[in-house]
């Protein structure tokens, strides 16, 4: 009912659904805590989704944290590894820390990653193609997804739009979310690079659960609840 985009009253919702006003208020409080709705006097409306900007803008956000994460994440990559690296900004930072590795096989949908790691140090590069998303500087349509799904990397290096205790890992771009799901399904091991701003944030498309992550690299100690959610994984605080 809220997806209509208009503000709905508590009284009207209660009458429509045949429950008490207090039941509606309670459920709206839960939805507000999850970031789904914005409560107003006597009612509620859907919260405006948080959207990501173009790549060049996002590369400047939390840049110091991303650089720290990238340096720590690079330690998990050895010469000769087969890697999938997605098109997130943290992944771009990580790719730049791998320019001294040799004989890597890199699968990516990111022009940024391809530019940094292709044609050097005896690397092999497989770039997914299709229709380019100019804001992301990446390929993530059905053609690109089919290409990437044919590989079985030793390690996937992934970024994320948001990490929620309720909904798990999520992204803002449907194609990028699909790319992440493919990587989680086909990789022997997944390293997730996520700065502290991603925790408690909701994306639009679910990609995975915390239990699907093998290595989590971040720049701040996790709150107790998030530490518990990732307790199975190797957690590195850069």
Domain spans, the chain:
2-46, 55-237
- The pLDDT tens digits for 141-167 are 999 999 999 999 999 999 999 999 988
Please report which confidence band the pLDDT of residue 40 belongs to, taking 50, 70 and 90 as the band edges.
confident
Q: Say how far apart CA 114 and CA 129 lie, in whole Å.
A: 12
Distances in Å between the alpha carbon of 204 and those of 37, 74, 227?
14, 29, 23
- The pLDDT tens digits for 82-106 are 999 999 999 999 999 999 999 999 9
For residue 138, what are its two tokens? 């990446």
Mean of pLDDT values over 208-212: 97
Three-state DSSP class for residue 117: helix
CATH number given to 55-237: 3.40.50.1360
Please check the confidence at residue 5 and state whether its pLDDT lies above 70: no
Most distant CA pair in the chain, distance? 68
Q: At what angle do helices 89-96 and 63-74 cross, to 10 degrees?
A: 50
Q: What is the mean pLDDT of the chain?
A: 91
The DSSP call for residue 119 is T
Q: Say how far apart CA 154 and CA 106 lie, in whole Å.
A: 10
Please report which confidence band the pLDDT of residue 52 belongs to, taking 50, 70 and 90 as the band edges.
low
Q: What is the pTM of this model?
A: 0.76
Q: Say how far apart CA 206 and CA 217 lie, in whole Å.
A: 20
């Amino acid at each position: 009912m809220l997806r209509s985009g208009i503000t709905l009253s508590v009284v009207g919702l209660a009458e429509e659904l045949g429950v008490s006003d207090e039941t509606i208020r309670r459920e709206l409080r839960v939805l507000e805590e999850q970031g789904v709705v914005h409560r107003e006097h006597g009612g509620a409306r859907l919260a405006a989704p948080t959207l990501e900007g173009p790549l060049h803008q996002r590369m400047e956000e939390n840049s110091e944290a991303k650089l720290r994460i990238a340096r720590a994440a690079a330690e998990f990559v050895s010469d000769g590894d087969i890697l999938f690296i997605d098109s997130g900004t943290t992944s771009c930072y990580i790719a730049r820390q791998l320019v001294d590795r040799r004989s890597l096989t890199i699968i990516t949908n990111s022009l940024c990653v391809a530019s940094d790691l292709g044609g050097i140090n005896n690397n092999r590069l497989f770039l997914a193609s299709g229709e380019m998303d100019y804001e992301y500087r990446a390929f993530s349509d059905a053609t690109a997804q089919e290409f990437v799904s044919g590989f079985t990397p030793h390690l996937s290096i992934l970024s994320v739009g948001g990490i929620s205790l309720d909904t798990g890992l999520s992204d803002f771009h449907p194609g990028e979310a699909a790319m992440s799901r493919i990587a989680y399904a086909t990789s022997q091991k997944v390293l997730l690079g996520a700065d502290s701003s991603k925790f408690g944030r909701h994306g639009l498309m679910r990609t995975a659960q915390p239990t699907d992550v093998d290595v989590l690299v971040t720049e701040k100690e996790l709150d107790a609840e998030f530490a518990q959610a990732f307790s199975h994984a190797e957690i590195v605080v850069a």
